[in-house]
Amino acid sequence: MRHGTHRGIRQLARTYRTDIAWVAFVGLNLTAMQLIPDWQTVPFLIIWITLTAAYGVRLWRLGSAMITVVIVTLATGGLIGFQVLRGEQDLDYLAEVPLLAMLFVVMVWHSRRRLTALEEMKRVSDHNVLLLDQQRQFLQDASHELGTPIAIALGHAELIERAATDQAIAADARIAVEELLRMRRLTSRLLLLASTEGPASLHLTNVDVEEIVVDAFRRWSHIPRQWVLGDLEETWAQGDADRLTLALDALIENAVDHTEPHDRIELSASRDGGNVVIGITDEGSGIPATEVDRIFSRFSRIDAGRNRAAGGFGLGLAIVKAIAQAHGGTVEVSSRVGQGSRFELRLPASRALVGSSPASDQVRRI
Instruction: List the domain boundaries for the chain.
Output: 1-195, 200-364
Q: How far is Cα 123 from Cα 119, in angstroms, rounded to an integer?
A: 6
Which 3 state secondary structure label does DSSP give 16? coil
Helices 17-35 and 2-15 pack at an angle, to 10 degrees, of 70
Q: How many other C-beta atoms are found inside a 10 Å radius of the C-beta of residue 234?
A: 16
pLDDT for 81 equals 73
pLDDT for 297 equals 75
Q: How far is Cα 34 from Cα 241, in angstroms, rounded to an integer?
A: 81
Pairing between β-strand 205-208 and β-strand 236-239 as defined by DSSP bridges: antiparallel
Among candidate residues 216, 238, 235, the one with its CA nearest the CA of residue 327: 238
Q: CA-based Rg of the chain, rounded to a whole angstrom?
A: 36
Cβ neighbours for 293, distance < 8 A, ≥ 6 positions apart:
none
Q: How far is Cα 212 from Cα 331, in angstroms, rounded to an integer?
A: 17
The neighbouring-strand residues paired with 266 are 228, 281
Cβ neighbours for 361, distance < 8 A, ≥ 6 positions apart:
none
Please give the chain's pLDDT, 366 residues, in tens: 555 566 767 777 777 777 777 777 777 777 776 777 666 555 666 666 666 666 554 555 555 666 766 777 777 677 767 767 776 666 666 666 666 666 666 666 667 777 778 888 888 888 888 887 777 677 667 666 777 788 888 888 889 988 888 888 888 888 888 888 877 777 776 666 666 655 556 788 899 999 999 999 998 998 999 999 998 988 899 888 888 988 898 899 889 988 999 999 999 999 988 899 999 999 998 888 888 878 887 655 554 434 444 444 457 788 888 889 888 999 999 999 988 999 999 999 986 544 444 444 433 333
How far apart, in Å, are the Cα atoms of 293 and each of 138, 288, 353?
26, 10, 37
Amino acid present at 8: G
Q: How many other C-beta atoms are found inside a 10 Å radius of the C-beta of residue 340?
A: 22
Q: How far is Cα 26 from Cα 48, in angstroms, rounded to an integer?
A: 9
Transcribe 79-128 into DSSP letters. HHHHHHHTTSS-THHHHHHHHHHHHHHHHHHHHHHHHHHHHHHHHHHHHH
Which 3 state secondary structure label does DSSP give 40? coil
Among candidate residues 269, 280, 279, 246, the one with its CA nearest the CA of residue 354: 269
- Whether the CB-CB separation of 260 and 322 falls below 8 Å is answered with no
Q: Decide if domain 200-364 falls under CATH 3.40.50.740.
A: no
Pairing between β-strand 264-272 and β-strand 226-232 as defined by DSSP bridges: parallel
